[in-house]
Structure 1
């Protein structure tokens, strides 16, 4: 009986482990001086768009995490490569193809039909530059 339960749990783990982020993994290595194009990143809640990723990048100054970066490609039907845009509130981004909304604090979905978070990337900052990598 224990062997049977172990086999079932292992199978369930293997199936669920394969359901990671649906947005394709592509090489990201964006670097820029923090110039007027990115001056909004000096203020909590500020955002900027940058090249890279599948559908571009959103750089966002999170209240709790500092500058974070997400791929603009929606996690809902990523094959369509719909680029999310930051809403007027500055707190969420919307997929124009499906209406899904995502929190910019952590990339998590806040409105269906999306159920997966936006793909996030590592951000390295100095007083004068910003770099986004994976």
Structure 2
């Protein structure tokens, strides 16, 4: 019985040591800026988006929804995230494209809208207070 427990424990240990693939890594994000910051000028109208470098895995993509709220996604594509391909907003203002695979994502909710992507973008929490925008996870 004792040998069986040792074998089960060893099998579970080896199985749990595997690296999770296909997932955008979770990294601490704490971005803060004034809404009047010139870098955020595109967010003054609905459908506007701004790329912020230096945060998240591949940068941040801030987006202003039609209802005036904000969404923020990691620019790291959810399709083969180990390649660290940074999505870029399209001219339409509604989607963003992964330049490595051609996958497209909706900026309203981060969901995939064109194959080969099947997972949504990693979303971050956005709070607006006293004319400042806070992005965190």
Query: Common fold, TM-score beyond 0.5?
Result: yes
Distance 1:47 1:116 in 2: 21
Deviation at residue 65 of structure 1 after TM alignment? 6.8
Q: With structure 2 as the length reference, what TM-score do the two structures score?
A: 0.79
2:69 is aligned with 1:93? no
Aligned length: 115
- Tell me which structure has the larger Cα radius of gyration: 2
Question: Is residue 72–residue 126 contact of structure 2 (8 Å, CA) maintained in 1?
Answer: yes
For 2:14, the equivalent position in structure 1 comes to none
Range with greater deviation from structure 2 (56-65 or 40-49): 56-65
Partner of 1:89, secondary structure, is coil
> C-alpha distance in 2, partners of 1:101/1:70?
13
User: Which secondary structure does the structure 2 equivalent of 1:132 belong to?
Assistant: strand
Quote how far apart the aligned CAs of 1:68 are: 0.6
Structure 1 runs of 4+ off > 6 angstroms? Answer: none
Q: Which moved more, 1:60-69 or 1:76-85?
A: 60-69
Q: Give the direction of change, closer, same or farther, for the CA distance of 1:97–1:48 in structure 2 (3 Å limit).
A: same
User: What TM-score, normalized to structure 1?
Assistant: 0.81
Across the aligned residues of Structure 1 and Structure 2, the Cα RMSD in angstroms comes to: 1.6
